[in-house]
Amino acid sequence: MNCEAVWKNIEAFALGALEEPEADAVAAHIAECAECAELANAYQATVDQLPLAVPLHRTPARLRKAVLAGARSPGRPAPSLLRDVRVLSAAAAVLVALAVGSVVWAGILSFQVNDLRAESQRLERLVEAGAESAVEQGRLQSALGVAEDEQRRMGIRLEEQSKIIALVLDPDALLSDLQGTSLAPEAHCYYLWSAYQSIGGLLCQDLPPAGPAGTYQMWMTKDGTTIAMGSLTAQPDGSATAVVRLPANAPPGPVTDMWVTRESGRAVPSKPGSDVVLARAPAGQTAR
């Protein structure tokens, strides 16, 4: 775009009324051309005065209180419709997916466990008939044990989800964003911390599978100490949740960083690996 073309668009550019490709072209030219940049600044100064024309409305007293309360509690957002809607919709997407999967799986498990129990009891009555039946009963009892373990895990998962729901609904829960790194560019998590409940919850979307033997591990830095906060598993649809608690021996002081790594084994590693998949969104990233 040359100067003449920029001059034809400079007013709309200052007003933010150009379509994106045109605006980008003007911006690129202005970055190189001092004369056009000066003209753009002049129009920008004009546009910047437009909000002074609005009729004044008085703010409600509660807003002043909310602003000052928010400032006095660093990071603590006063109850905000914007935050609630954003978190609730993200949480709803994850929780609905998990809940549907959990309910279906719990139903299947329940049938499976009941069938296995009935089969096992039937075989118990026949066990004296021969060694072959005893072997079959052993196989069934092993399958029953596996199914009951899975049922217990499902119970824990449902309990975890109820805690996440409680966190999302907690108006004082505090929010952080974790953004996917180049290892998981589409991934995004919300981390909610409730001082009142003393628990945190991680809600993730678009998390890729961690690999056949891999797992995701959450970490925090507190007073210079790195703390393992627990693991999480990505569901087939990329969603994942985890409830975390600070260990009793965690040092005092603020949490200065948090991130998620992909680890190669199931065991909790003593220190974080180098495959960081989620990191804190930079502060002020959306500032304009």
Partner 1 sequence: MSHLDAQADEPLRIQASPPSVEAVEGLASAETEAATRPLDYLSAPPERVVAEIARHDIHALEALYDRYGDIVYSVSLRVVGDTQLAEDITQEVFLRLWRRPDLFDESRGRFLTWLLSVARNRAIDELRSRVRRHAHEAQDAAAEALPAKDEGDDPLAQALHLDERVAVRRALALLPPEQRLVIELAYFGGYTQQEIATRLRQPLGTVKTRVRLGLQKLRPLLIGQRDQGH
Q: How far is the CB of 66 from partner 1 (least distance, A)?
A: 6
Instruction: Check if the beta carbon of residue 231 is closer than 8 Å to that of residue 212.
Output: no
Closest approach of partner 1 to the CB of residue 248, in Å:
13
Among 49, 182, 249, 270, binds partner 1 (CB under 8 A): 49
Binding of partner 1 by 280 (CB under 8 A): yes
Among 25, 246, 276, 279, binds partner 1 (CB under 8 A): 246
Residues 11-30 binding partner 1 (CB under 8 A) are 11-12, 14-19
Which residue number, 92 or 106, has a Cβ lying nearer to partner 1? 92
With residue 241 as reference, give the H or E element that holds it: strand 240-244
Binding status of residue 64 toward partner 1 by CB under 8 A: yes
Give the nearest distance from C-beta 23 to partner 1 in angstroms. 9
Residue selected from 254, 265, 266, 268 as contacting partner 1 according to rule CB under 8 A = 254
Least distance in angstroms from the C-beta of 235 to partner 1: 26
Q: Which is nearer to partner 1, 43 or 105 (CB)?
A: 43
Buried b (16+ CB within 10 A) or exposed e, 108-122: ebeebbeebeebbee
Checking 14-18 for CB contacts under 8 A at 24+ apart, the result is 14/40, 14/43, 14/44, 14/46, 14/47, 15/43, 15/47, 16/47
Q: What's the CA dihedral at 27, 31, 33, 37 to 10 degrees?
A: 70
Question: Binding mask 157-176 vs partner 1 (x if CB under 8 A, - otherwise)?
Answer: -----------------xxx
* Binding residue for partner 1, selected from 53, 213, 248, 267, defined by CB under 8 A: 53
Q: Are strands 199-205 and 240-244 parallel, antiparallel or unpaired?
A: antiparallel
Residue 151 neighbours by CB under 8 Å, 6+ apart: 106, 109, 110, 113
Contact flag: residue 224 with partner 1 (CB under 8 A)? no
Phi/psi for 231 (5° steps) reads -110, 165
Which stretch of DSSP H or E encloses residue 179? strand 174-180
Tell me whether residue 14 or residue 168 sits nearer to partner 1 (CB atom). Answer: 14
- If the CB atoms of residues 16 and 236 are measured against partner 1, the closer one turns out to be 16
Interatomic CA distance for residues 136 and 174, integer angstroms? 54
Q: Binding to partner 1 (CB under 8 A): which residues in 180-199?
A: 193, 195
Tokens of 248: 């009793």
- Rule CB under 8 A: which residues touch partner 1? 8, 11-12, 14-19, 42-43, 45-60, 63-64, 66-68, 70-78, 80-82, 85, 174-177, 193, 195, 222, 246, 252-258, 280, 283-284, 287-288
